[in-house]
Structure 1
Amino acid sequence: MTMEQICIRLVKVDMLSPVRALNRFPSVIRCCASARTDLMRTNSSSSLKSRGSVTAAASSLCLRSRSGLNTCITAFRPPAERVPLIIQPTREFHTSGRLRALPAPLIWMVLKPLQKLIAIILGRSIRKWWLALPPNKKQLFREWTWRRRWHFVGAGAGLLFFVSLFLLTHLDESPVTGRTRLLVFSRENFMELAQVTAEAYMEEFKDSLIAPSDPRHQVVEQAVRILAERNQDIAEISSVPWTVHVVDGPTINAFVLPNGNVFIFTGMLEAVADIHQLVFILGHEMAHALIGHAAEQASLSHVVELLSLILLTAIWAICPRDSLAVLGQWIQGKLVQFLFDRPFSRKLEAEADQVGLQLAAKACADVRAGPVFWQQMEIYDQLRGEPTIPEWLSTHPSHQNRVRQLDRLVPEALELRASCDCPALPKADPRVIFHQAVKLLLDNAKKQENIAQEKKNEKERAGVILPFPQSPPVLTQGSQPQRGGVLATSALPQTLLSK
């Protein structure tokens, strides 16, 4: 067998690892370089591909493996000299669709029940292990624990140190207010989560979305545009593209995602009396997004949840029965909810009211309409017969507390509005007009009730018993209040359109 045949056979056998073949048989490869003509002739049978010649006196041979590594052998033959070899390894890259990783907050929400389950299983296992120990081993374990009590104290102090270090390294300053807060999840993480959430809401409300040509959609879109344009000095507003979605539904609600997607229901449009109240509500919701309240609330919940897992494990380890452990877990959850979650949520709502009032002032809205809206909502809840619950049981401040807070903030907001070159406001204060209207309505209702009572007394004195007439429907419990709609005006006030 000639050297040329050996070379061709070697390449056929070791095609899957051409580089290894070159390293093991350097002498044979030198012969292969001189026999390049024979290799190129057998290219079709050995699945080898020639890359052509580099110059008139040079040629290349590329061996391709299944791993995607191509080994190119280029042989140059200068006159009257031995043929040198140049080995050029190259790799082919294949691109595919980019996979989007799940946002960290979403992963935490998915793993949250699993963490609780692990804590329950661990605590229950510790309890069973302790109950299965004989009395003498329990006594030995107590003595061993007591001898090493300082080790446990040191371990607890070290754990407390690392927890404190973690909290200190994740402190951040909130926009606009400058308040120091804890942020475990970054704004970028919640931007990714907001995109996923927006897609889910669009799928949920796809049959209820109002067309952009609808006047109600145009009013909301113009109000959002004015708020965004007049607050361009805030980076969290200028860097976000704001998109409006109006959902046809009776729910009195509106919310804004961190990525600028605004969702508002037509029930909210019917609840506001004028465009100024609408601008205040939208400013409140935009304040939640620009400050990053969702990330802040999730961060605190995440830290509290991790610390409560230790208490949850101890509950299931100490309680003698599973029923008592379930009761202890329920009590622990309620304590965390009422001591941490709900007070913190009320604090964020109050901050959103403050910042939303500032955004509305810079948009040249009448900020005096903000307290009036919450007074309207209080009356509306009373007329619907909604039960009044204590504020400490709610995630939002009471309507009365919100009105009092906004009344304290209105003078400062009016100064801010005047400094933004806004047109002068009318002298009539909406708060005074609202109080006068409510007082007049109550007086009229009282007069009608007195008249009806007198008629009833006269009929009874005459010996004719008639059924008691009903009260006016305006004040009847459970009746629908007469609310002004935002579309009652034909167009936006010149106060806003001029800016």
Structure 2
Amino acid sequence: MELMCVRFVRQNFLRSLPTNSQAFILKSLRWYCVGRGELQKCCRPTPCLESVHGSRSIRVFGKKNKTCQPSRELTSPNQCLNARTSLNTFGSHRLKGNFNIVSTVTLPKQFFHTSGRLQALPAPLLWLVLKPIQKLLAIILGRSLRKWWIALPPNKQQLLRETAWRRRWHLAAGAAGLLVVMAIFLLTHLDESPVTGRTRLLVFSRENFLELANLTAEQHMEEFKDIIISPKDPRHQVVERVVQHLAERNQDIAEISTVPWSVHVVDSPTMNAFVLPNGKVFIFTGMLEAVADIHQLTFILGHEMAHALIGHSAEQASMSHVVDFLSLILLTAIWAVCPRDSLAALGHWIQGKLVQFMFDRPYSRKLEAEADQVGLQLAAKACADVRAGPVFWQQMEISDQLRGESTVPEWLSTHPSHRNRVNQLDRLIPQALELRASCDCPALPATDPRAVFSESVRQLLNSVKERESAEKAKEKEGKLSIASGGGGIFLPLPHAPSPLAPGPPGQLGGVLSPTPVLSQALPSK
């Protein structure tokens, strides 16, 4: 590139310039090359460049017929650095006939040091940091506009209104242009979801979230370092085996085959499990105690792995980023229009709740439903009994009722209700069974676990009703005996514990120990 620049300047400009201008142009070319840090590119031997070791000089030879003198090869890196950063004095000769150009420029000796490349923060993390700052700036801007408008005299306010009305078409054109720019931005950031093929908005790339996932994994490892069970623990080995089996049976999905999956079991009663985009699986022992068998565990881990392979975290952050950007405009308008700060703060709170209930939580429920669908497919290809998936959510529904937890309406939650999840999975079971059969999996038992669970629950409820009826009858007999002056007082029997209460591993609906899970073997092909 330097050679082409020198030839172009020499053939087109140098011949018509004075001697001092020629020297200045050659000096600028040299320092441009060195200033860009391209020392290796500038210093490699070229047909028209010669670096003289020890004399700290560079000579440029050329003729009218564009032939070049042979160059001398550099033998030392310091030679190259000295040749580019410390140049000696040249004289200049006028261009007449066939001759060689020998130009020398005097420059001070300098040495350049390039520092290491700084690692930028992941875009999602940077957005999380800037998000509250953006809201604060919107509030300040809106409040400043309101104070400025109130401070204006009435005649100037009227003048501004008339000016805005006269230029209403210009303002409308500007707003339309902004909408077009936003539409182009959204259309150029559309992506296809893996497995399901759903079109979605993806502002943040998967690579950005992998960097953020590494930071998050380090934080979780530091947080749970004292309660992570040993890899030699049977519970860890079961979970690791299930995860490896799911990954091996779904190698056709690139997002699974290219991720190094690793398992971390946390000794905590919390019923939770999650998988980071970088393949770090975290599951709590409370979740292991909540599942009834290996098939339910396979479905739960498949659900969490589906979140990671589809990239739901990046998708949800992208949607939230766009919604927050649009809400900043509304937030600025609220603080600019409301006459008092108290009303503006109330409008700000209402606007935040509307964004949550109209965009954030419905979108989160949609992603959870998609993870159930994809997790069921992953479990089917891993030869698990997919009919156990709806049973797990039925167990969770009964467990919540036994613990007395209040039922939150679905529109207030980030997850679908247990009942809706059961209904959705029941609709997907036939398709999942066909997929399982196409993967050369062993035949399933004829008994459907959903029917077994429903029948067991029905029998238990009937037995509870019978016991309650018997207790009421004995209480009534006791009261009659006391009223008739009988010889003894018959006290009512104490309430027996409910058959659905948490109990030993064999009891239905209770919190199950990991023993049934460990006693099961993964189905083989």
**Interval containing the TM-score (normalised by the shorter chain):** 0.7 to 0.9
1:174-253 equivalences in 2 (<5 Å) = 174-253=193-272
1:443 is displaced (CA, Å) by 1.3
Aligned mate of 2:409, from 369, 390, 401: 390
Distance 1:62 1:257 in 2: 46
Q: What is the 5 A alignment of 1:320-359?
A: 320-359=339-378
The residue number in structure 2 matching 1:121 is 140
Determine the C-alpha separation between the residues in 2 that align with 1:440 and 1:68: 93
CA distance in 1, matches of 2:499, 2:280: 37
Aligned-residue offset at 1:472: 2.1
Deviations 1:137-170 (A, max 9, x none): 1111111111111110000000000000100000
Structure 1 residues 48-87: Cα deviation after superposition (integer angstroms, max 9, x where no partner): x979xxxxxxxx99999x99976498xxxxxxxxxx9999
CA deviation after TM superposition for structure 1 residue 469, in Å: 2.8
Task: Give me the whole-angstrom Cα distance separating, in 2, the residues matched to 1:241 and 1:374.
Answer: 29
Report what 1:80 is aligned to.
Answer: none
Distance in 1 of aligned mates of 2:76 and 2:315 = 61
* 2:398 aligned residue (351, 368, 379): 379
Cα–Cα, structure 1 residues 61 and 104, in superposed 2: closer, same or farther, change >3 Å? Answer: closer
Partner residue, 2:58:
none
Which amino acid is 1:472 matched to? P
Kindly indicate whether the alpha-carbon contact (under 8 Å) linking 1:219 and 1:492 is maintained by their aligned counterparts in 2. Answer: no
Q: Matched residues in 2 for 1:61 and 1:423: separation?
A: 69
Unmatched tracts of structure 2, length 5 or more: 1-23, 28-52, 56-74, 89-101, 483-488
1:447 aligned residue (451, 462, 466): 466
Distance (Å, rounded) in 2 between the aligned partners of 1:165 and 1:236: 28
SS of residue paired to 1:245: strand
Summarize deviations over 1:80-101 as a string: whole Å, max 9, x none: xxxx9999x9997767766432
Which residue does the alignment assign to 1:79? none
Is the deviation greater in 459-468 or in 178-187? 459-468
| Structure-1 residue corresponding to 2:297 | 278
What does the per-residue CA deviation read over 1:321-361, in whole Å, with 9 as the maximum and x for residues that have no partner? 00000000000011111110111100000000000000000
Aligned to 1:462, the other structure's residue is in SS state helix
Separation (CA, whole Å) in 2 of partners of 1:95 and 1:244: 41
- What are the equivalent positions in structure 2 for 1:389-428 lying under 5 Å apart? 389-428=408-447
1:262 matched residue in structure 2: 281
Aligned equivalents of 1:288, 1:156: Cα separation in 2: 37
2:513 corresponds, among 485, 490, 493, to: 485
Q: Which amino acid is the alignment partner of residue 469 of structure 1?
A: P
CA 1:490/1:389 → structure 2, altered by over 3 Å: closer, same or farther? closer
Specify the alignment match of 2:383 in structure 1: 364
Gaps of 5+ in 1: 1-19, 24-48, 52-59, 74-83
Q: Is the 8 A contact 1:349 1:396 kept in 2?
A: yes
C-alpha separation in 1, matches of 2:167 and 2:480: 91
Contact 2:376 2:389 in 1 (8 A): yes
Change beyond 3 A, Cα 1:267–1:98: farther
* Partner SS, residue 405 of structure 2: coil
The TM-score normalised by the length of structure 1 is 0.81
1:486 to partner: Cα distance: 3.8
State the distance in 1 between where 2:142 and 2:522 align.
Answer: 66
Provide Cα deviations, 1:406-454, integer angstroms capped at 9, x if missing partner: 0010010000000001011111111011011111111111111111111
Alignment partner, residue 472 of structure 1: 497
Deviates further, 368-377 or 196-205: 196-205
Distance 2:422 2:259 in 1: 30
1:301/1:68 Cα in 2 relative to 1: closer, same or farther (>3 Å)? farther
CA displacement, residues 196-240 of structure 1 (integer Å, 9 cap, x when unaligned): 111111111111111100000000000000000000000000010
Higher RCO, Cα 8 Å, sep 6+: 1
Query: Per-residue deviation at 1:493?
Result: 2.3
Shift of 1:466: 3.6
State the Cα distance separating 1:135 from its structure 2 match. Answer: 1.1
Aligned position for 1:8: none
